[in-house]
Amino acid sequence: MNEHDFLAQRFEEHRAHLRAVAYRMLGSLTEADDAVQEAWLRLSRSGSERVENLGGWLTTVVGRVCLDMLRTRASRREEPMETRLPEPIVTGADALDPEHEVLLADAVGLALLVVLETLAPAERLAFVLHDMFAVPFDEIAPVVGRTPAAARQLASRARRRVQGTAAVPDADLGRQREAVDAFLTAARGGDFEALIAVLDPDVVARSDGGALRPGALVRGAEAVAGQAITFARLAEVARPCLVNGAAGVVAATDGVPVSVMAFTVSGGRIVEINILRDPERLKALDLAAPGA
């Protein structure tokens, strides 16, 4: 085995981990793969002779690449962040495959990624690398161009935002599915009271329709229930799936997916609904299994 092949083999041992880091940083599998590929290019150019901890070195390199991508994204962003959804990971209704289990370890639900989208790029990096992957602040500091103490403060601010905003979902998938099924049944039947019963009073529904369809943010059980009834037709064609490991549904007409709905269920009630309706982004998702 030559030196290049040996280096490639070592890199592949870390690929799944690096992809998980990048997905949490970017909320997009496509961009995550681009970031991981860039890390490989940097490694292949520099070599690993002077790298004592290759996994740690690659993690910080991916973090640096993602930070640059986030800053570029923020500078050209036109759509409101509150209605821009991260890219969901959609799988069959029963279980995740091993690749997705690695990506979604530590319950990285869509609702958490939505909160991460609201963080400043440096805050997001400090929080993801330290709180999710235990990277020391001494290693995070040079990536964000701050002192270790300042990097710690970035992570602390991000942590407060996450803890104050992201709902803690019920761990029992069966309980999640029970609430989602009750929601769909009520929507199909136009049963307003049944919808109110399964929705948290402060429920939030967020819809991302893409560049040509304005997004929407609806708050409160009555408003969300009223909206759900107007979309009863989609509820008729909804099929169960997992969205980032939690109960969700895919709605399709004539075999073409028209929406993916991710639910956050806490205390047996739905506290958040995130709906992706963007045709271009839906087209890019692998939805064959849920729609089968």
For 190, the 3-state DSSP assignment is: coil
Residue with tokens 């997992």: 242
List the structure tokens of 109: 């639900």
What tokens were used for 28? 């997009």
Nearest to 227 by CA among 167, 178, 269, 186: 186
Q: Could you give the maximum distance between any two Cα atoms of the chain, in Å?
A: 68
The radius of gyration of the chain from alpha carbons, rounded to an integer in Å, stands at 20
3-class SS string, 192-257: HHHHHHHEEEEEEEEEECCCCCCCEEEECHHHHHHHHHHCHHHHHCEEEEEECCEEEEEEEECCEE
Average pLDDT, the chain: 87
Summarised one tens digit per residue, pLDDT across range 121-169 is 999 999 999 999 999 999 999 999 999 999 999 999 999 999 888 778 8
CA dist 177 and 242 (Å) reads 10
CA-CA-CA-CA dihedral for 31, 38, 106, 93, to nearest 10: 50
Neighbour order of strands in the sheet with 90-91? 90-91, 238-243, 246-253, 256-266, 269-276, 199-208, 216-219
Which band of pLDDT confidence, cut at 50, 70 and 90, is reported for residue 74?
Answer: confident
Q: How many CB atoms lie within 10 A of CB 238?
A: 21
Digit-coded pLDDT (tens) for 222-235: 999 998 887 777 77
H/E segment holding residue 263: strand 256-266
Comparing 36-50, 81-95, 123-137, 211-225, the range with the smallest average pLDDT is 81-95
Identify the helix (H) or strand (E) that includes residue 170: none
pLDDT (average), residues 161-187: 90
pLDDT band at 288 (very low <50, low <70, confident <90, very high): low
- In angstroms, rounded to a whole number, what is the distance separating the alpha carbons of residues 191 and 201? 17
Q: DSSP assignment of 34-103, as one string?
A: HHHHHHHHHHHHH-STT-S-HHHHHHHHHHHHHHHHHHHHHHH--S-GGGPPPPP-EE-SS---HHHHHH
C-beta atoms surrounding 27 within 10 Å: 24
- pLDDT reading at 83 higher than 90: no
Q: Please give the pLDDT value at position 153.
A: 97
Cα distance between residue 176 and residue 250, in whole Å: 16
Amino acid at 11: F
Residue 22 neighbours by CB under 8 Å, 6+ apart: 31, 32, 33, 35, 36, 62, 65, 66
